[in-house]
């Protein structure tokens, strides 16, 4: 008889297959080789977060949902001792390849983020870094916040920037208009997407995949972090997003961030939190 507690939820199986199917192409699309060619290169995402990260030299840092490791490598280059965690073995294979080619001693661990404090050592990190396309894969924010609290030492910090939940409500298939299509608040049933597209330019075709995704409101995320034992040190809303999240409405700037085109309303496209473990 099967043990229902051991059965993997459908969303995990589908979403992992989605990410596994994209990892190799993303390594090309993200230009992973640039990090080997230039030993000082930082990802645009980490560069944008430098004001929130501050000096991280010597810190024990974990990058949750690290994907192919370009941001993880950037944290290492800022002087932290870094662990990357992701549930996609194909993503981790790319991340390990990049770290080795760049000569960076980064530990990579395969795990569902909801089990991060079991896969890693609890209360042993000074910094949890995560964001830019992570929360939407998770049905609930409360267990995510609990994992972050469990990983941090008292006084340790979370630095998190994510797509703004208002931006996630908008119909990404309408270059002609800004139309709310999806709900803002956390919801029970997943949004189901079927397709073969991705958010970076890649050579060639991708396999079709089905994903299960969720939106989470700002107060729901902040409330979950507070309830899990973190104090909110800073919250910001940003007019920039590092991928073309609303095709037809955004233009790319010199800082590798997209902003609303001239003449379009200036909307919050990402938001960030710095929180400290009590």
**Residues of the shown chain interacting with ligand SAM in the complex, contacts defined by CB under 6 A:** 12, 15, 19, 65, 67-68, 70-71, 86-88, 91, 112-113, 132-134, 137
Rounded least distance, CB 248 to ligand SAM, Å: 21
Rounded least distance, CB 113 to ligand SAM, Å: 4
Rounded least distance, CB 34 to ligand SAM, Å: 14
The residue at minimum Cβ distance from ligand SAM is 133
Token pair belonging to 71 = 């941001």
DSSP 229-262: TEEEEEEEEES-BSS--STTTEEE-TTS-EEEPT
Residues in the chain, overall count: 278
Closer residue to ligand SAM (CB): 9 or 58: 9
Closer residue to ligand SAM (CB): 202 or 264: 202
Closer residue to ligand SAM (CB): 144 or 225: 144
Closer residue to ligand SAM (CB): 138 or 152: 138
Rounded least distance, CB 133 to ligand SAM, Å: 3
Phi, psi of 126 (to 5 degrees): -90, -20
Rounded least distance, CB 52 to ligand SAM, Å: 15
Closer residue to ligand SAM (CB): 196 or 231: 196
Token pair belonging to 235 = 């919250």
Quote the Cα angle for 251-269-131, to 5°: 115
Which pairing describes strands 230-238 and 270-277: parallel, antiparallel, or unpaired?
Answer: antiparallel
Phi, psi of 35 (to 5 degrees): -75, -20
The span from the CA of 261 to the CA of 28, in Å, is 28
């Amino acid at each position: 008889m099967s043990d229902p507690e051991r059965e993997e939820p459908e969303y995990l199986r589908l979403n992992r297959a989605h990410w596994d199917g994209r990892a190799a192409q993303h390594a090309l699309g993200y230009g992973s080789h640039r990090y080997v060619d230039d030993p000082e290169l930082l990802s645009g995402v980490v560069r944008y977060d430098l004001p929130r990260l501050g000096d991280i030299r010597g810190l024990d840092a974990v990058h949750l949902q690290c994907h192919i490791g370009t941001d993880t490598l950037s944290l290492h280059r800022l002087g932290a001792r870094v662990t990357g965690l992701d549930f996609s073995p194909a993503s981790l294979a790319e991340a390990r390849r990049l770290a080795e080619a760049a000569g960076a001693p980064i530990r990579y661990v395969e795990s569902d983020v909801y089990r991060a404090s079991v896969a890693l050592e609890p209360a042993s990190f000074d910094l949890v870094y995560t964001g830019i396309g992570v929360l939407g894969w998770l049905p609930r924010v409360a267990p995510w916040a609990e994992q972050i609290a469990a990983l941090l030492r008292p006084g340790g910090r979370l630095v998190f920037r994510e797509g703004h939940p208002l931006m996630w409500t908008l119909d990404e298939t309408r270059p002609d208009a800004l139309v709310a299509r999806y709900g803002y608040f956390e919801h029970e049933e997943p949004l189901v997407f079927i397709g073969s597209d991705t958010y970076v330019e890649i050579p060639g075709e991708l396999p079709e995949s089905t994903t299960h995704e969720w939106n989470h409101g700002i107060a729901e995320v902040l409330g979950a972090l507070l309830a899990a034992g973190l104090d909110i040190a800073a919250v910001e809303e940003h007019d920039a997003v590092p991928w073309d999240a609303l095709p037809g409405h955004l233009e790319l700037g010199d800082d590798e961030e997209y902003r609303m085109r001239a003449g379009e309303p200036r909307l919050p496209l990402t938001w960030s939190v710095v929180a400290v473990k009590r």
